[in-house]
């Protein structure tokens, strides 16, 4: 089946769509288990917007989780995608991840569908601040807040006890003084900006094929591009672990670990290129 995908890629650089499964080998787990069921529930946008207490809870958890999240490095799967791009087998990439690991691995033309955690914006005045700068401020305003947690989530936060959250000082926007700072990412329950979605539709329409990596396609934000490709008759290949919501739409399906599958795929693309 990997050889079939390699032959699809030989027809021209595929559009790539990646999900949380790309980053699990970097120490950032996904939200769902092999059966597609959600293991943890992220904070809902309405909850974050609805109260200062919810924002304090989010930022306390995120402050602790940021150290491990920010320390994550690209894994073999990220580097394999970069190599496939260098070989001309894949082109632009749409990622549902917010960790920036594709860019860190050298991949070009990356569209971050859900944003990136390194940017923070104020919901009141639209001011922006770099997350690393904000982290330094939070550390200064919360001396001694060094809570251990063995958990990290795809959006960079962790689970904390209520007693820990209660002693955390929520970061304040230095422009307007409000506690409405939010990572510039799409929260659970939120929506991707329409221009960004349209750009991704345009990429899909122009692509000779679509290669989906590490996504169960359980949410519409990614599934819609697979549906679009299938409707247009564009070949769709999927490599992920466990079932996906788009299994009935794909032409080629590999159920397995990404790193091994992408290593074999890269070798197959190399062989086909050499024999052409």
Same domain for 43 and 178?
yes
**What is the pLDDT at residue 273?**
82
Q: Is the dihedral of CA 52, 43, 135, 64 positive or negative?
A: positive
Transcribe 209-224 into DSSP letters: -EEEES----SHHHHH
CATH at 96: 3.40.50.1220
* Cα gap 57→104, rounded to integer Å: 29
* Cα gap 98→132, rounded to integer Å: 15
Residue 158 within any structural domain of the chain = yes
Same domain for 246 and 137?
no
- Residue 129 DSSP code: E
Buried/exposed 206-241: b ≥16 CB within 10 Å, e otherwise: ebebbbbbbbbbbbebbbbbbebbbeeebbbbbbbb
Transcribe 142-208 into DSSP letters: STT-----S---TTS-----HHHHHTPPPP--TTT--S-EEEEE--BT----HHHHHHHHHHHHH-S
Residue 33 within any structural domain of the chain = no
- Residue 176 annotated as lining a ligand binding site: yes
Same domain for 209 and 260?
yes
Which of 117, 118, 113 has the alpha carbon at shortest distance from 92? 113
- Residue 173 annotated as lining a ligand binding site: yes
- Asked if 210 contacts 229 with a C-beta cutoff of 8 angstroms, the reply is yes
DSSP-derived pairing of the beta strands 110-112 and 90-95: parallel
Same domain for 137 and 270?
no
Same domain for 149 and 197?
no
Final residue of a domain: which of 165, 185, 205?
185
Burial of 149 by CB count in 10 Å (0-12 exposed, 13-18 middle, 19+ buried)? middle
Q: Which domain holds residue 140?
A: 39-71+116-185
Same domain for 43 and 133?
yes
* Cα gap 151→174, rounded to integer Å: 30
Same domain for 258 and 172?
no
What are the backbone dihedrals phi and psi of residue 270, each rounded to the nearest 5 degrees, phi first?
Answer: -60, -45
Final residue of a domain: which of 185, 214, 243?
185
- Asked if 30 contacts 99 with a C-beta cutoff of 8 angstroms, the reply is no
* Cα gap 173→125, rounded to integer Å: 9
For residue 130, give both structure tokens: 């770099």
Final residue of a domain: which of 125, 157, 185?
185
Q: pLDDT (tens digit, 0 to 9) for every residue of the chain, 276 residues total?
A: 899 999 999 999 999 999 999 999 998 877 544 433 444 567 899 999 999 999 999 998 888 888 778 889 999 999 999 999 999 999 999 999 999 999 999 999 999 999 999 999 999 999 999 999 999 999 999 998 876 555 554 444 445 455 568 889 999 999 999 999 999 999 989 999 999 999 999 999 999 999 999 999 998 999 999 999 999 999 999 999 999 999 999 999 999 999 999 999 999 998 888 886
* Cα gap 99→103, rounded to integer Å: 9
Q: Which residues are catalytic?
A: 114
CATH at 158: 3.30.1600.10
Provide the number of structural domains found in the chain. Answer: 2
Same domain for 56 and 95?
no
Same domain for 205 and 255?
yes
- Residue 122 annotated as lining a ligand binding site: yes
């Amino acid at each position: 089946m990997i050889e079939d995908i390699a032959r699809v890629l030989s027809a021209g650089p595929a559009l790539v769509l990646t999900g949380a499964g790309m980053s699990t080998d970097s120490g950032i787990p996904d939200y769902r288990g092999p059966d597609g069921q959600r293991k943890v529930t992220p904070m809902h946008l309405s909850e974050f917007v609805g109260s200062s207490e919810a924002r304090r809870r989010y930022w306390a958890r995120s402050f602790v989780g940021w150290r491990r999240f920010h320390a994550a490095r690209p894994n073999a799967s990220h580097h394999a995608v970069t190599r496939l791009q260098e070989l001309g087998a894949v082109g632009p990439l749409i990622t549902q991840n917010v960790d920036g690991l594709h860019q860190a691995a050298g991949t070009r033309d990356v569209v971050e569908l859900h944003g990136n955690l390194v940017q923070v914006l104020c919901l009141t005045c639209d001011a922006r601040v770099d997350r690393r700068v904000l982290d330094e401020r939070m550390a200064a305003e919360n001396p001694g807040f060094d809570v251990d947690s063995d958990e990290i989530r795809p959006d960079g936060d962790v689970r904390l006890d209520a007693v820990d959250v209660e002693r955390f000082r929520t970061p304040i926007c230095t422009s307007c003084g409000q506690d409405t700072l939010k990572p510039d990412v799409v929260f659970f329950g939120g929506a991707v900006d329409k221009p960004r979605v349209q750009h991704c539709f345009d990429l899909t329409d122009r692509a000779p094929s679509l290669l989906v990596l590490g996504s169960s396609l359980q949410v519409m934000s990614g599934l819609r591009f697979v549906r679009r490709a299938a409707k247009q008759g564009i070949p769709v290949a999927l490599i992920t672990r466990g079932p996906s919501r788009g299994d009935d739409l794909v032409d080629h399906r590999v159920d397995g670990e990404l790193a091994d599958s992408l290593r074999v795929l890269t070798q197959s693309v190399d062989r086909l290129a050499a024999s052409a």
